Chains A and B, each alone.
Chain A
């Protein structure tokens, strides 16, 4: 039977660190990959705009408009990164709190939390 003696803070700490490291590592890898992809795409678009402007396929006014759109997308990508980071932090916090809940309920032997 479990009891209060099972509430080992050291064990809980290790479990929390492992949970956090797993989620944070995976989330950060995903975020990096998504953001890097979007920035590479954006860089390619800006190169296309520059080439089209230099070759005269797009007017200078048109090229400036396209560049403004590319900059809107850059601002959106930065804002998206912030949301992805917050979403990862949210997942991390809730996973750690869930781990605490499981640990305490498991140690006590009934659903306290």
Chain B
């Protein structure tokens, strides 16, 4: 390396050091953590009440039509997605191939997921969302998508009682936990 190159490298290093901390992720947003916790508590309360009463999706909850609960929770979660997108990571999640490979290699090791899926439908395949959003937004979009699926499940099953509703409740909690881990990682 020539002396000029060495000096250039040193100067670049000094500039980087003097610029303060480098951020690769959007800032931690306490409103997202708060919103997720609020949604989680509300949904657990709602599902406990649905388990108790066995009300259909056309019934009432807290003196209001159940459809209002679904509308309100979807609106709150959509707002969290918009907040995350507005703060925006600049790297689309689909560009971060290494992490996907890492996770998929875990799955390949266990293969239990594929086995379980095959037990239901041999044509079902796991596909990774190749969305252009940043990774934080995708995690919140998953929580929102799960909530929307809950309403459809409520309608198709007639009530939110029994093993199916219990699995759904656990899946919702799993999604919220993943979202909270993601948000807290930015601190």
Contacts and interface: CB of A to CB of B under 8 A. Distances in A.
Interface of A: 34-36, 38-43, 45-50, 52-54, 57-59, 61-87, 89-90, 93-94, 97, 100-101, 104, 113
A46 B25 contact: no
Contact of A52 (B13, B25, B117, B167): B167
Contacts of B119: 50, 53-54
A38 B178 contact: yes
Q: How large is the interface on B (under 10, 10 to 19, 20 to 34, 35 or more residues)?
A: 35 or more
Contacts of B172: 69
B36 interface: no
A65 B155 CA distance: 11
Interface string B47-64: 000000000000000000
Main SS at interface, chain B = helix
A39 B153 contact: no
B126 A113 contact: no
Nearest to B147: A69
Contact of B185 (A53, A68, A71, A84): A84
Interface of B: 13-14, 16-18, 21-25, 91, 93, 96, 98-100, 102-104, 106-107, 110, 112-113, 116-117, 119-121, 124, 126-129, 135-136, 138-139, 142-143, 145-146, 149, 152-153, 156-157, 162-164, 167-168, 170-172, 174-175, 177-179, 181-182, 185-186
A89 to B, nearest CB: 6
Given A45-B174, A49-B120, A73-B146, A97 B22 contact: yes
Contact of B116 (A43, A61, A73): A43
B17 A101 contact: yes
Nearest to A49: B167
B185 A93 contact: no
Nearest to A66: B167
Pick from B117, B170, B178 the residue with the most CB of A within 10 Å.
B178
Contacts of B21: 94, 97
Nearest to A99: B17
B171 A69 contact: yes
A83 B136 contact: yes
